[in-house]
Structure 1
């Protein structure tokens, strides 16, 4: 993280003096996370010829959770799952986005994102900072049904966008249909129905030439 990245946006227009300290910390955080709108992902939009940003991605995930929770293999608390998906990418404000097929970037991803979580959630009042950090940790650990379904949505959303783009990031050099199947396997960990959907989209994308052919297209999309 650079000095500029660590400088809170609120410093550009400091809040008026005399506000309650807790409110100042909350507003500082809320202003800071506006940076999420500037973090570009690799996924193409379905509706325009540009890449999506992290804020758009997070909104889309929240809506997907709301509409697709009925397909979860285990009952999930929809409200809490939405909390997980709107928090999980906030760390990319400081850590940057690590594309799914960037194997080199993924080697340092955990270290970068944990440092970013410490810095970003530390802007909040302690109780709220600890709460959001706990949600972020829960998403990463995937030990709850909500976290597993949240992760599934995080992998399904770009799959849908790549399908709409007739390839999108599937055309990344070195990526094959087998690569996509492997990276999307966590979808099936949370939902057998959506795991099957993911497999169908990848198989058909491979058939249409939108992704380089893999060596094996028989393994199910499961964990």
Structure 2
């Protein structure tokens, strides 16, 4: 057994516990409690397993699960930026890249390189796995907001055009999930919980 590697892995495990304290704006289904990043990542991982058959392309489901489990770990340092924030760009990749180097760098070199590579692949959103992982990341808050009578859309006065633009990423990984999501968005407008 390599004691140094084990101690590095334990240090990483302790560090990522901080993900549980990162509060997101989106609330749990049918609830007024905000979700944290750990809950979000766990939910995406299960969604990826359950919905994998809806991917437009063949995917390595384990890789997608790894992506969604680690994609927000960088928010320990970089913080969570609300998807509809009008002051700060949601793609704060410089801050996140530094966070990835520090946090994943706690791991033994080979594992650190693997995690950084998976995280970068997710961020780039070009592979089949990354496209599907991003579909999960955009679908979950849509489901939450529709279950909460508009949720953060109402709270932050987010309009249809912005929701449609941000959620349309879903179609890059799954046309059938996008069709479902688009229907939810349009239904939300009809119900008056999302304003045009």
TM over 0.5, yes or no?
yes
Tell me the secondary structure at the aligned position of residue 29 of structure 1.
helix
Q: Does 1:206 align with 2:189?
A: yes
Tell me the secondary structure at the aligned position of residue 137 of structure 1.
helix
**In structure 2, what is the Cα distance between the partners aligned to 1:199 and 1:27?**
43
Q: Does 1:155 align with 2:135?
A: no
**In structure 2, what is the Cα distance between the partners aligned to 1:165 and 1:122?**
38
Q: Does 1:119 align with 2:102?
A: yes
Matches within 5 A, 1:70-219: 70-106=53-89, 109-213=92-196
Deviation at 1:174, TM superposition (A): 4.6
Structure-1 residue corresponding to 2:22: 39
**In structure 2, what is the Cα distance between the partners aligned to 1:78 and 1:118?**
25
Going from structure 1 to structure 2, the CA distance change for 1:182 and 1:172 (only over 3 Å counts) comes to farther
Deviation at 1:107, TM superposition (A): 6.4
Based on CA coordinates, which of the two structures has the bigger radius of gyration? 1
Q: Does 1:69 align with 2:52?
A: yes
Q: Which runs of 4+ in 1 moved over 3 A?
A: none
Tell me the secondary structure at the aligned position of residue 43 of structure 1.
strand
Going from structure 1 to structure 2, the CA distance change for 1:45 and 1:88 (only over 3 Å counts) comes to same
Root mean square deviation of aligned Cα: 1.4
**In structure 1, what is the Cα distance between the partners aligned to 2:176 and 2:93?**
30
2:10 to 27, 30, 42: 27
Going from structure 1 to structure 2, the CA distance change for 1:69 and 1:108 (only over 3 Å counts) comes to closer
Maintained 8 Å contact 2:134/2:170: yes
